[in-house]
């Protein structure tokens, strides 16, 4: 029995170590709750590293909010949507887009983020040490946003504060995708190894990135390994890779769902009230202290 377990464990390590020998036309999506469940992350490639492209989504894949109301699952829950309606009904300027951006920029600047899995920064560092191309891909606007002069600077600094720096292994220098222009005359960009989509989809932005990749490098990646918490984004990129003849391994990452903490509607409403009256964000702990004092 013990011999059998040792044998299967050894074979698992063997195949994990040689995952890069899989056919380049492989295309699959696997659901995981930990990065350690992905062989391509646990065992960095030992050869052909320049033909691989690793892509990490940012929000709800690498990082999430410490405060429970701001986590995507809670915002999209039935209770979270009630709070959104409550905010809209009581907002000073409900139809003012500039004011809305200002309020959200205060949340961006003041609410604390955490790494979903602290080990991920070491995983990315190992990949970078192997010389693999590793980039970020985030559905985020570009340029000025409320009190933030440039969202791309804010996002880069945010990730660097967690010791994640995609500029180290970006295959391309900073680039503005001028062919894709939004209504505000903004564009998706590659900034220090992070693709920001502006108003475009991840598929459209990545497609334009790969076009530039081929122009600069003279070839396309043989395989793309992509981590994202949203299945539809993975499926779109999978379709893009199929059309370009690029192997694709997508990981539908659900690690944030296993984080501790129970969403508290009363506490969340206190945070919304503070945001409406003071135009500033308070943490779960601060809201809890206010509720204790008012009992």
- Provide the percentage of residues in the chain whose pLDDT is more than 90: 74
Q: Look up the pTM and report it.
A: 0.89
44-67: pLDDT as tens digits: 777 778 899 999 999 999 999 999
Q: Are 97 and 91 in contact (CB under 8 A)?
A: no
Residue with tokens 């205060």: 106
Query: pLDDT tens for residues 204-263?
Result: 999 999 999 999 999 999 999 999 999 999 999 999 999 999 999 999 999 999 999 889
Angle 62-162-154 from CA coordinates, rounded to 5°: 85
Spatial CA neighbour of 151 closest among 118, 192, 114, 117: 192
Q: CATH fold of 23-66+112-263, please?
A: Rossmann fold (3.40.50)
How do the domains of the chain map onto residue ranges? 23-66+112-263
């Amino acid at each position: 029995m013990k011999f059998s377990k040792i044998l299967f464990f050894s074979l698992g390590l063997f195949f994990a170590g040689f995952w890069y020998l899989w056919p380049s036309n492989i295309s699959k999506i696997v659901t995981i709750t930990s990065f350690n469940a992905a062989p391509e992350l646990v065992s960095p490639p030992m050869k052909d590293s320049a033909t691989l492209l690793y892509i990490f989504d940012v929000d709800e894949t690498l990082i999430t909010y410490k405060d429970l109301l701001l986590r995507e699952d809670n915002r999209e829950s039935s209770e979270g949507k009630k709070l959104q309606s409550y905010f809209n009904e009581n907002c000073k300027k409900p139809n003012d887009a500039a004011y809305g951006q200002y309020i959200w920029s205060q949340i961006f600047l003041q609410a604390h983020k955490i790494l979903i899995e602290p080990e991920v920064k070491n995983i990315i560092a190992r990949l970078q040490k192997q010389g693999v191309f590793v980039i970020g891909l985030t559905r985020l606007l570009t340029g000025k946003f409320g009190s933030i002069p440039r969202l791309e600077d804010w996002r880069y600094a945010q990730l660097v504060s967690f010791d994640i720096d995609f500029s180290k292994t970006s295959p391309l220098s900073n680039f503005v995708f001028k062919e894709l222009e939004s209504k505000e005359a903004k564009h998706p960009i590659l900034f220090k190894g992070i693709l920001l989509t502006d108003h475009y989809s991840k598929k459209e932005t990545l497609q334009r990135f790969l076009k530039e990749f081929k122009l600069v490098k003279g070839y396309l990646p043989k395989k793309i390994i992509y981590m994202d918490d949203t299945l539809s984004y993975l499926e779109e990129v999978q379709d893009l890779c199929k059309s370009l003849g690029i192997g694709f391994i997508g990981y539908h990452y659900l690690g944030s769902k296993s984080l501790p903490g129970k969403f508290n509607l009363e506490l969340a409403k206190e945070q919304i009230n503070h945001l409406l009256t003071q135009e500033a964000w308070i943490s779960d702990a601060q809201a809890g202290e206010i509720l204790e004092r008012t009992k």
